[in-house]
């Protein structure tokens, strides 16, 4: 499962409560109070304050205006998502996940800053716009005054009135340029429904948020499955799985696990090169590999995923997907290749790193664009490849294995994944079971199979992420095939 995320740096709450408030809005605007952890639509009645830790998002054709306690004003464009990271007598700090905000900051006011996954912008007495796209890349436009902007590598630049600068997460920040355009309309969006789906994957990890979204989404699910089974530890687990389409070229797979004493979930967002057909299996059957002289009509361009116990999480990302032939002159086979990939782990007790993604375990970028993964294109926590320990605890003929990576950083960070193939009764599948099929047809056999994955890590303070999911739904959606 592949996933990346682009969060922001959040600050510690202050002792004294200061707040912003929504002065006006139109369309569908939602807020999530830090105290409740649930999204709710903004009503047309009464003043609504926003304090530290509160989040806000706007949908298509929806806008909002905020006032800070010092009189500064913020305008939020459609399809935007941000957080009040810090608000006290000394500083107002906003985290922009995606979208566009315009800020009119009063002169001689307290420190004001906007943070995105790629940049931090600090100002006093300025009219400026900050935009962040779905990858976190940022544009800063200054209409009055000046802004000091910095990138993730610590480089800074002064952007003056009439200038703009683009800041990427992946390349060094350049110099400001003359901005030939008038102030951008705040009624237009820099993000779209695809981006919102991606941001939801990144940000919803509380049990309340996950269940609330599931209750709304499952009504329109294209595929869904519910079953109760026994996991590898003899625990009864209730699985609920479904597939929905957030955008024309996307589908999302969600699995929820409820046990007596815990709740775990997983989400994978798949993005394709073309709008998906009505029959989803036509696209999924060739999205990873295909045979033929021509590349398949549908293939993956991005995959984003999260697995979580609502406190700890692992996130993975793949982007830049394209099909590569076995022979450029005479192709017979095609396989997906992703230009970028990254894997992160976040301990729920640990300080937030990498803008909320967690501690980067390893990443890959195809620097020379040769469609081949080379050692010089890999980056590891600690600087060198981890020590790898693979085992088959139940024997080589049983579908149960572990893979533990120990990294060379000063903390000796490690993470282990353990996988099982199980029957509904909790019995681990063996090669003999599959060979005999236990008197069942292929479909009957598949419908009795489940997969379980458990993550443990030095980052999780003794906790685990434990997710079981069925072979049936994967088969129905075309994600699993037995040849």
Phi and psi based region of residue 204 (left: phi greater than 0; alpha: psi -120 to 50; beta: remaining): beta
The CA distance from 476 to 260, in Å, is 28
CB 224 within 8 A of CB 477: no
Burial grade of 369 (CB within 10 A; 0-12, 13-18, 19 or more)? exposed
Task: Tell me how far apart the terminal alpha carbons of the chain are, to the nearest angstrom.
Answer: 21
Residue 45: HSE in the Cβ half-sphere, 13 Å Cα cutoff: 0
CATH label, 20-178, candidates 2.60.420.10, 3.30.565.10, 1.10.10.1100, 2.60.120.1440: 2.60.120.1440
- Three state DSSP letters for 260-296: CCEEEEEEEEEEECCCCCCCCHHHHCCCCEEECCCCC
Per DSSP, what are the bridge partners of residue 96? 82
Strand 73-76 to strand 63-67: parallel, antiparallel, or no bridges (unpaired)?
antiparallel
pTM beyond cutoff 0.75: no
Question: What is the Cα–Cα distance from 221 to 218, expressed in whole angstroms?
Answer: 5
Helix (H, G, I), strand (E, B) or coil at 355: helix
Query: What residue ranges do the domains of the chain occupy?
Result: 20-178, 193-476
For the beta sheet containing 262-272, the strands, ordered from the edge strand earlier in sequence to the opposite edge, are 223-230, 236-244, 250-259, 262-272, 300-308, 313-319, 340-346, 359-365, 378-380
Element (H, E) at 475: helix 471-476
Strands 111-115 and 81-87: unpaired
Say how far apart CA 127 and CA 111 lie, in whole Å: 14
DSSP string, 191-204: --HHHHHHHHHHH-
Q: Which of 151, 146, 187 is nearest to 164 (CA)?
A: 146
Tally of CB atoms within 10 A around 377: 15
Torsion region of 283: left, alpha or beta (phi above 0 gives left; psi -120 to 50 gives alpha): alpha
Which of 243, 313, 301, 298 minimizes the C-alpha distance to 467? 313
The number of residues in the chain equals 483
Question: Tens-digit pLDDT profile for the chain (483 aa)?
Answer: 222 222 222 222 223 344 688 888 888 888 988 887 778 888 876 678 888 889 998 887 788 999 887 778 899 988 888 899 887 778 888 989 888 999 988 776 678 899 988 889 988 668 899 988 766 789 999 998 899 999 878 889 999 999 999 998 777 888 999 988 877 677 766 666 666 666 677 666 778 878 877 887 888 888 899 999 999 999 999 999 999 988 889 999 999 999 999 999 999 999 999 999 999 999 998 888 889 999 999 999 999 899 999 999 999 989 999 999 999 899 999 999 999 999 999 998 887 676 567 789 999 999 999 998 888 899 999 999 999 999 999 888 899 999 999 999 999 999 999 999 999 999 999 988 877 765 567 777 788 899 999 999 999 999 999 999 998 888 887 777 655
For 105-155, where are the E strands, in sequence order? 111-115, 119-123, 127-132, 138-144, 146-151
């Amino acid at each position: 499962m592949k996933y990346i995320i682009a969060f922001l740096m959040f600050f510690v709450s202050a002792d004294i409560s200061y707040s912003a408030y929504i002065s006006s809005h139109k369309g569908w605007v939602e807020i999530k109070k830090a105290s409740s952890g649930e999204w709710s639509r903004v009503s047309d009645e009464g003043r609504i304050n926003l304090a530290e830790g509160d989040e806000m998002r706007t949908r298509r054709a929806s806008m909002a205006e905020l006032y800070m306690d010092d009189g500064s004003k913020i305008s939020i464009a459609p399809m935007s998502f941000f957080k009040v990271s810090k608000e006290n007598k000394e500083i107002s700090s906003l985290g922009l996940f995606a979208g566009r905000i315009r800020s009119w900051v009063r002169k001689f006011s307290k420190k004001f800053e906007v943070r995105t996954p790629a940049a931090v912008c600090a100002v006093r007495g300025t009219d400026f716009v900050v935009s962040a796209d779905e990858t976190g890349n940022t544009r800063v436009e200054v209409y009055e005054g000046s802004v000091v902007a910095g990138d993730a590598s610590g480089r800074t630049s002064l952007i003056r009135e009439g200038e703009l600068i683009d800041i990427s997460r992946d390349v060094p920040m350049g110099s400001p340029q003359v901005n030939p355009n008038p102030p951008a309309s705040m009624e237009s969006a820099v993000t779209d429904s695809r981006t919102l789906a991606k941001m939801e994957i990144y940000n919803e990890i509380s049990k309340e948020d996950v269940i609330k979204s599931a209750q709304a989404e499952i009504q329109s699910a294209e595929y869904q499955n519910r079953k109760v089974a026994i996991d590898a530890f003899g625990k009864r687990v209730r699985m609920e799985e479904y597939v929905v389409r957030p955008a024309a070229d996307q589908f999302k797979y969600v699995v929820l696990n409820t046990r007596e004493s815990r709740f775990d979930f997983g989400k994978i967002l798949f993005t394709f090169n073309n709008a998906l057909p009505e029959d989803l299996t036509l696209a999924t059957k060739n999205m990873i590999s295909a045979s033929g002289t021509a590349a398949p009509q549908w293939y993956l361009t991005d995959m984003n995923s999260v697995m979580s116990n609502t406190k700890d999480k692992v996130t993975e990302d793949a982007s830049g997907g394209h099909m590569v032939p076995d022979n450029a002159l005479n192709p017979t086979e095609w396989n997906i290749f992703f230009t970028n990939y990254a894997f992160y782990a976040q301990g729920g007790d640990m300080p937030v790193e990498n803008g909320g993604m967690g501690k980067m375990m390893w990443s890959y970028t195809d620097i020379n664009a040769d469609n081949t993964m080379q050692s010089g294109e890999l980056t590891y926590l600690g600087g060198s490849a981890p020590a790898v320990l693979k085992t088959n605890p139940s024997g080589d003929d049983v579908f149960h294995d572990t893979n533990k990576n120990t990294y060379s950083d000063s903390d000796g960070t490690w993470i282990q994944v353990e996988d099982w193939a199980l029957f509904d009764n909790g019995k681990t599948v063996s090669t003999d079971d599959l060979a005999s099929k236990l008197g069942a047809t292929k479909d009957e056999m598949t419908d009795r199979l489940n997969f379980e994955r458990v993550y443990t890590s030095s980052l999780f303070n003794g906790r685990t992420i434990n997710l079981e999911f069925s072979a049936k739904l994967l088969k129905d959606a075309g994600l699993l095939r037995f040849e």
